[in-house]
Amino acid sequence: MKLPDIVILDEKDKRLHTVSDEVTFPLSKQDREMIHDMLLYLKMSQIEEERAKYDLRAGMGLSAVQLGVLKRIFVVVDEYEEGKFKNYVVINPKIKSFSEELIYVGEGEGCLSVNRETTGIVPRHARMTVEAQDENGKTYEIRVREDISIAFQHEIDHLNGILFTDRIDPKNPFKNADKMREI
């Protein structure tokens, strides 16, 4: 596999705190290529040999804004079994419902735009239903749970100009951990 030629913005870039624009269809050739490159990059980052070969940090999700494109597009790549991946292409997402149950990533969330150690938890909904469009503009609804729900919420935050570090309480980074389930 050849590593896609993409540059991921660092958290210091002000564009990451900008609300992304709705996408109109049909998608441009550049948007389709960007989606393809984002999916490939994430897949390669999750394959140990590729990660080592290209010195990549493993990633599960990526938003267009992280590439400097202010459009409401994100992708998630889930390695659900060794060497088997499920791709999610999410355009113009809208959260329809979410569980009251809150969860958090025990070892802490990470982000390909945040290149430093972070401490603290990010409260996320354990389950949610999202309405979105695919690459062809077809509307669909998807129910996600656990780690995929966290990834979707993380990426939707990106589209709204929010980084996961913005959601960590600076005075009490582990605030209310006892009221949430660790995954």
User: Choosing from 107, 109, 141, 155, which is the catalytic residue?
Assistant: 155
Count CB neighbours of 24 within 10 A: 10
Q: Which residues contact 120 (CB under 8 A, 6 or more apart)?
A: 108, 168, 169, 173, 174
Tokens linked to 19: 């609300």
Is 81 in the active site? no
Judged by DSSP in three states, 146 sits in helix
Tokens linked to 88: 């999610």
User: Are the C-beta atoms of residues 105 and 164 closer than 8 Å to each other?
Assistant: no
* Cα–Cα distance measured from residue 37 to residue 84, given in angstroms and rounded to the nearest whole number: 18
First to last CA, the chain: 32
User: Are the C-beta atoms of residues 120 and 168 closer than 8 Å to each other?
Assistant: yes
**Active site residue ranges:** 155
